[in-house]
Structure 1
Amino acid sequence: MLLKKASIVSVLALAVGVSAVGAASAATVTKASAVQVTNSTYTVNGIAVNLATFFEKGRTLVSLRDLSTKLGVKLQATKGVITATLKGHTVELTANSTLIKVDGAEQKLTVPVKSVKGVTYVELKTFVQALGGQFAKDASGTIWIDADLLGNVDRIQWVDSAKFIATQETETGRLDYLVDAQTASYEQLRILEEISDFVIAPNGAKAAYTNNAGEVFVIDFATKLSTKVSEDTSIKPELVWSSDSSIIYFLQGDKGSVVAKLDPATGTISKVLEDKVDYKANLDVSADGKTVTYTVTKPGAVVADANLPVESDDVAIDMKGTEPQIFAYTVDPSIKDNKPAQLSTTADDKVFIHAAADGSSVGYVSVSSEDEVKSTLVIVSNDKTSKTLFTEKDVYQAVVSGGKWYLLTEGNGSNQFVYEVDPATGAAKQLYTLSDTVSEIIVKSGSPFAVVNEGRVFLDINGQWKPTTK
């Protein structure tokens, strides 16, 4: 959920052109009949490599052999025609010709295919794109070449430091892929499209989800196989893993009235809390499993003149008192008349709600009904005291990872900022300055920092932004 809609501009000012290579990689032509070949540095499939290149007529030409080896292209020569294939795409080249065939269709080159000292060279940008690959230059000058990037990604979730799940929304449901963060290679997970969102276990080895019937499944990322762990068909609007990845907590019922838990090993479901209070949401469970936190939102009241007919349009909804409120429940059967405690009573909207690992407090972004009032980060403790941690900038998104808060906020002009906030001290540190078109940040302790812009995912790899989806 975002509080600000992004516009269409590049987060990194990517220049998808190869004519403006850096001074370290640009080669010059000393004579019309001679070329000067140099070793140029590129990042191919996530790995920095040197490729033999030269520059002519505003184009960079690359050693066909060098690039194909690094990119994973298969080459075959028959009767003077070189055929290059990569992931379903085919390119045919002939020495000294400005025409190539791309999947059977002719395409014209600016510079003909050339042979220099027995090595074949071809236009870099044209060749990469003809094979369905991607070529991008970031603001630092680093050039990224990828064989094939997953496109049309709606959101991602980190599995561990090396892999993430990328989800594409479809007309019939969703498609999920396991993506290698370094190489950007991906593999579709074989599951039904009509499922709930993946909830990845803290150990990164598996994820839980439900189908339309409410049955619970667990997918093992090592085997890519899903196992049905519960045939119970009650509605389960939220799934939450225990800290040791052994138990799945969830809200139960079409109104989220019950907090329950499931043991995936046995399929046993037991109730944790049943207090007859509807519309629970934002379920969280402390690391020791002793504290359950959630919000409750009361529905609006229908206001109408009793003298008017039921079908009249003159009906209003009174939304007073419907703001979400935060509750905490201590899971202890020995407590007599044990009831949840209401921690908040404020009239602000509450979004990006996350509980502390020890269950001692709950943090959220407070959104005022007044447009001119900034959204702030607030912490409310189990003793019902609250404090505002961050007020410097208007907060658009908040994520918790490794015990710290990460905020996407307003910036200056066309920028946005990312802050790291320590909930223990309230200290805020600015980490990034990003374009104001970044729509989301994805943070997981130990994994690269990720941002989404125009539906594309970029990863911070050693201080450089690597495009990982297209």
Structure 2
Amino acid sequence: MKRNQWLSVLMASALLVTVSQASVYAAAGANSGKSAAVKSSARAAKVKEGKAAWTVDSVQHTIKTIDAGGYKLYSVGQLAAALGAGLKAEAGGLSLTDRASVHTINFKAGSKSYSVDGVKRSFTTAPTVYGGKLYVELSAIVYGLGGELFGSPLQILSTARPQGEFDTLHWAADGSLLANREGDKAEIYKFASNPGSYRLFSSDSRAADFSVSGDLRFGAFTDETGQLLVIDLASGAVKPLGTDTSVKTDLTWSADGKTIYFIQGDKQEKLSKISVDTGAVTELLADKVENKSELQISADGKKAVYIVNITGTAKNDADSTEDSLTVDYSKAGEQLYQLDLSAKDAKPAALTSSGDNKLYPEILADGTVVYLSADPDGKAPNTLKTLKPDGTFADIPLDIEVVWAQEGAGGLIASGTAADGTSRIYAITAAGASKELFRTTQDISEVAVSGDGAKLGVISGGKLLEIENGKAVQLTK
């Protein structure tokens, strides 16, 4: 053995002996004149050994403990192993470093003083040597290494959940959730189902929101020039699609992922599509009707449904003076239109003519169009309406005032507020039957449905939740 290795062993041994003696004398208190055997016996009576079962990053661990003066301490070696942390002796003490080498704790046996990343802190109970092992406070170590005690019952996360306000939810093909953290810079995070398992996915401000392909592998968005771009939802790689830089809104993927449809033009007056393979743009409709929005494409690619915001019509009398100018608002409002994409030179057909506001149109598998109807004067509650292929309208009865709806799980997913103030989410079948999926006393600002319809991503109170079988797991704090 080399000389420096002998010195390390001697120093560690001296440290253990010194701390053990200090613990014995502390247990003995003022009766320091008693024999060593009596002191050891008193110390043994004061310390109670045990074991504690903890779930660490979804894996079960059993960690040795001692009860020192009414405070439970944990084996630092076993705790470090469970957290994946590095433990090593340093001059005058020990250091713990987290798995990512971001945080370091420096401490000494028998001393309440310690530091986290160079910042001084204090233990409630000093690290204690007992039976040849060192025991430490659980929470101080977990939080010091960047972890978190989470949930009910409590479990340990080696990496704490990210903190902040989140929005703009999307599911990816690997079952992860993508969400933006609000702030001065773009931060798109990717979350696995296990709390504490996440990573920064992208800092590209252009990709703050995107339209996701049916297979959840890609997202499409435009930059400030109108250039269409596609982001890979696995790698985060971004590439341009085509060279057209006209204004594009309401990007919508075809079911097979080969085409992206969009509303085109400065005044949203056209419907067009672009080939994902070639980048070639094809104009589908140029009827000069402005203010189109919320484009939806049927699964078979044969129908397009969209909303037109019809504004007032200016009228003049025979003199055509400024004073004689009037605006007729009698036909103003939002109306649903449908375009047959399978017929050449087809003309759009109006689906509605009522004065209510219309939001979130969806085309179900049987061709039924579902949309949210809102009273423009705010006097009547929002309702979900269906328009069957035969032209018949019906309301979907729910015990909430609906604020959002989206196709999913073979039917529809809707959220809203009940009379008691709770926020609720329902699954609605094509036949109109509803089932409650989740409720909370907090507001629900966003909902995203997983590809298989089994899970929901929810923004509630600015926090990200994942919901499965009615149970919610909070992925942010």
TM-score, normalized by the shorter chain, greater than 0.5: yes
Quote the offset at 1:339 in angstroms.
0.9
1:57–1:110 Cα contact (<8 Å) kept: no
Find the aligned partners of 2:360 and 2:94 in 1 and give their Cα distance: 55
Structure ranking higher in helix proportion? 2
Matched, 1:125 2:139: yes
Structure 1: distance between partners of 2:244 and 2:172? 27
Aligned equivalents of 1:464 and 1:41: distance in 2? 21
- Contact residue 195 and residue 212 of structure 1 kept, 8 A: no
Taking CA–CA contacts closer than 8 Å with sequence separation of 6 or more, which of the two structures ends up with the larger relative contact order?
1
What's the offset of the Cα at 1:235?
Answer: 0.7
**SS of equivalent residue, structure 1 residue 212:** coil
- What residue is the counterpart of 1:429 in the other structure? 435
Q: How does 1:214-363 map to 2 (within 5 A)?
A: 214-300=226-312, 320-334=330-344, 338-357=346-365, 360-363=367-370
User: Aligned to 2:142, what secondary structure does the other structure show?
Assistant: helix
Tell me the residue number matched to 1:15: none
Summarize the Cα distance change of 1:388–1:54 in structure 2 as closer, same or farther, 3 Å threshold. Answer: farther
Rounded to whole Å, the distance in 2 between the matches of 1:467 and 1:253 is 41
Q: Find 1:167's aligned residue among 153, 163, 180.
A: 180
- 1:48 Cα deviation (Å)? 4.9
Partner of 2:449: 443
1:41: which partner in 2?
Answer: 54
What is the alpha-carbon distance in structure 1 between the residues aligned to residue 292 and residue 210 of structure 2? 20
Q: Is the 8 Å Cα contact of residues 307 and 358 (structure 2) preserved in structure 1?
A: no
Answer whether contact 2:275 2:281 (CA < 8 A) is retained: yes
Contact 2:126 2:136 in 1 (8 A): yes
> Which AA in structure 2 matches 1:322?
A
Structure 1: gaps of 5 or more residues: 1-29
SS class of match (1:277)? coil
For 1:78-97, list aligned pairs within 5 A.
78-86=90-98, 87=100, 88-97=102-111
Task: Classify the secondary structure of the residue corresponding to 1:37.
Answer: strand
Q: Matched residues in 1 for 2:308 and 2:357: separation? A: 12
**Cα distance change on mapping 1:154 and 1:261 into 2, 3 Å:** same
Q: Take 1:321 and 1:452, find their aligned partners in 2: how far apart are those partners?
A: 37
- Contact kept in structure 2, 1:199 and 1:241, CA below 8 Å: yes
Deviation string for 1:133-160 (max 9, x for gaps)?
A: 232224xx35352513333322321113
Paired residue total:
429
Answering whether residue 85 of structure 2 is matched by residue 73 of structure 1, we say yes
Indicate which of 98, 106, 120 corresponds to 2:112: 98
What percentage of residue pairs aligned between the two structures are identical? Answer: 27
Pairwise CA distance, 1:183 = 5.6
State the Cα distance separating 1:49 from its structure 2 match.
4.5
Distance 1:96 1:382 in 2: 78
* CA–CA distance in structure 1, aligned partners of residues 273 and 441 of structure 2: 42
Structure 2: tracts of 5 or more residues without a match:
1-42
TM-score, normalised with respect to structure 1: 0.81
Match of 1:156 among 138, 162, 169: 169
Q: For residue 114 of structure 1, what is the aligned residue in structure 2? A: 128
- Aligned residue for 1:418, secondary structure, equals strand
CA contact (8 A) 2:262 2:271 kept: yes
Partner of 2:374: 367
Q: 1:354 corresponds to which letter in structure 2?
A: E
Between 1:206-215 and 1:116-125, the stretch displaced more is: 116-125
Shift of 1:103: 1.6
**Normalized against structure 2, the TM-score is what?**
0.79
